[in-house]
Amino acid sequence: MKIELINNKIYLNNGNSNEEIHPFWLRERLDGEEFLDKGTQQRLFDPSAMNCEIEIEKAKISDGFIEINFNDGASSRINLEKLATEFSNKDTVIKSINKIKWNSNLKNVKNFTFEENFFETKEMYELLVSFYKYGFVIIKNVPTNDNFIVKFANSIGSVRRTNFGEHFNVKSKSNPNDLAYTTLHLSPHTDNPYRNPVPCIQLLHCIENEVSGGFSTLVDGYTVTENLKIEDPEAYKILSEVKVRFKFTDKNVVLEDWSELIHLDENKEFKQVRFSPRLDYVPVLEKNKLDLYYKARKKLSDLYNNEKNRIEFRLEPKDLMMMDNYRVLHGRTKFDPSEGNRFLQGCYIDFDSTEGKLRHLKRKFNL
Ligand SMILES: [Fe+2]
């Protein structure tokens, strides 16, 4: 891409075409002291209140800068490199990290090790990149004292508090309000599909694990649904079109949200999976459509529960697992509480935490 100046008009040449850049688009980006607060990088003027019929009176490109005088009297030098970062109309940091598909053959994913000042290191940047590639990451040696998981989460961004509290303790207990608090096998599921918005990321921190069972299981919803799209487009289509109701009730709250099991973005690409078959209710549709839906859901469930799609591992004390709750399904194998204690703590954070941290570290280390 190249910026060119022809008769006081500024053009963006991308090799194939030469498009004029709207003068007001440039006017909005003036970054001299009177236009932009250097500390906050926020505008000191309000372009939405200005007359957008603006013209360039004079312009000059030199030494990596463009000097522009506008007909409303404003003038400034704009750094061309900085301007070039504005030409993309989508997120260039997070979207540039390509998701890696995986199944039970997944090997050699790097585990990270917690250390002093961990959250401001290059290692933390690499951790977040790995998280966006695989949809999960494991950090070893995370302190287990004083609900450290909350400090951990708040050092990346902010804890997303729910009605389960700021964090929750995963231990078997009597009269549980969720099957997570039992010793039962938990098939692959995503958490809290009944919330709006669904918590984006779950952190699970192993505090104690003295039992021989209770293995953690993960399945990549992205891989499974992308494969389904190729192998059974009809099933994929209905699962990405029919919105179902997810509901959670206890004595204090009734939570409900509606979504497709495979939720696509505006470009019909993968955005989110929700799967929690103890909580989903499809609306009454024509019998033929429901027939198709139930068969498709069974197929998806079989794939999620197929060991070829699952990795299984033991979380040791001080291991902290971070999972993308929009992409990865999690579960656990059953365990025998008479063997000893099994105690995990969990909490949620949202994508703004990880994305904000990743962009900050990329800027800090000039990556
Ligand atoms: Fe869960």
Q: What is the CATH number of the domain that holds 312?
A: 3.60.130.10
Q: Report mean pLDDT in 10-residue bins for the chain, 367 residues.
A: 89 90 95 92 95 94 94 93 83 92 96 96 98 98 96 97 92 68 87 97 96 94 98 98 95 96 97 95 97 98 98 97 98 89 95 97 95
**Is position 100 within any domain?**
no
Looking at the structure, tell me whether residues 116 and 65 fall in a common domain: no
- pLDDT attached to residue 56: 96
Answer whether residue 162 is part of any domain.
yes
Distance CA 322, CA 133 (A): 13
> If you measure from the C-alpha of residue 332 to the centroid of ligand 1, how many angstroms do you get, rounded to a whole number?
9
Residues 123 and 74 in one domain: no
Ligand 1 centroid distance, CA of 78 (Å): 50
- Residue 117, token pair as written in the block: 């000042």
Domain span at residue 53 reads 2-84
- pLDDT, residue 82, reads 85
Q: What is the CA radius of gyration of the chain?
A: 25
User: Which CATH number covers residue 39?
Assistant: 3.30.2020.30
Q: Are 272 and 326 in contact (CB under 8 A)?
A: yes
What's the first-to-final CA gap in the chain, in angstroms?
21
Do residues 230 and 282 both lie within one domain?
Answer: yes
Task: Record the tokens describing residue 243, joined without a space.
Answer: 């919105």
User: Closest Cα to residue 240, out of 285, 273, 267?
Assistant: 273
Ligand 1 centroid to Cα of residue 189, in Å, is: 6
Q: Which helix (DSSP H) or strand (DSSP E) does residue 302 occupy?
A: helix 287-304
Whether residue 213 sits in one domain with residue 127: yes
Residues 10 and 116 in one domain: no
Same domain assignment for residues 213 and 288: yes
The pLDDT score that the predictor gives to residue 2 is 86
Residue 103 lies in a domain: no
Would residue 95 count as lying in a domain?
Answer: no
Does 75 share its domain with 147?
no
The pLDDT of residue 173 is 61
- C-alpha 120 to ligand 1 mean position (Å): 29
Tell me, yes or no, whether 21 and 116 share the same domain: no
Domain end (from 47, 67, 84): 84
Residue type, 320: L
* C-alpha 201 to ligand 1 mean position (Å): 11
Is 151 a member of any domain?
Answer: yes
Q: Answer yes or no: do 49 and 193 share one domain.
A: no
Cα-to-centroid distance, 116 and ligand 1 (Å): 30
Closest CA to 158 of 320, 364, 363, 355: 355
Does 91 fall in a domain?
A: no
Pairing mode of beta strands 320-324, 244-249: unpaired
How many domains would you assign to the chain? 2
Say if residue 133 is in the same domain as residue 209.
yes
**Centre of ligand 1 from the C-alpha of residue 180, in Å:** 6
Contacts of 300 (CB under 8 A, 6+ apart): 224, 225, 228, 235, 239, 261, 262, 275
Q: Does 13 reside within a domain?
A: yes
Q: How far is the CA of 171 from the centre of ligand 1 (A)?
A: 12
Q: How far is the CA of 178 from the centre of ligand 1 (A)?
A: 9
User: What does the pLDDT read at residue 91?
Assistant: 83
CA of 345 to the centre of ligand 1 (A): 12
CA angle 168, 333, 276 (to 5 degrees): 65
Rounded to the nearest angstrom, the distance between the alpha carbon of 101 and the centre of ligand 1 is 22
Residue 90 is assigned to a structural domain of this protein: no
Distance (angstroms) between ligand 1 centre and the Cα of 292 equals 28
Domain-ending residue, one of 84, 99, 134: 84
Cα of 286 to ligand 1 centre, how many Å?
32
Residues 62 and 170 in one domain: no
Instruction: Report d(CA 148, CA 138) in Å as an integer.
Output: 16
Please list, in sequence order, all residues whose beta carbon lies within 8 angstroms of the beta carbon of residue 50, skipping any fewer than 6 positions away: 27, 72
Q: Are strands 136-140 and 112-113 parallel, antiparallel or unpaired?
A: parallel
- As given in the structure block, the two tokens for residue 275 are 């799967």
- Report d(CA 232, CA 65) in Å as an integer: 53
Residue 75 Cα to ligand 1 middle (Å): 56
Same domain, 7 and 50: yes
Separation of CA 187 and ligand 1 centre (Å): 9
pLDDT given for residue 337 in this prediction: 84
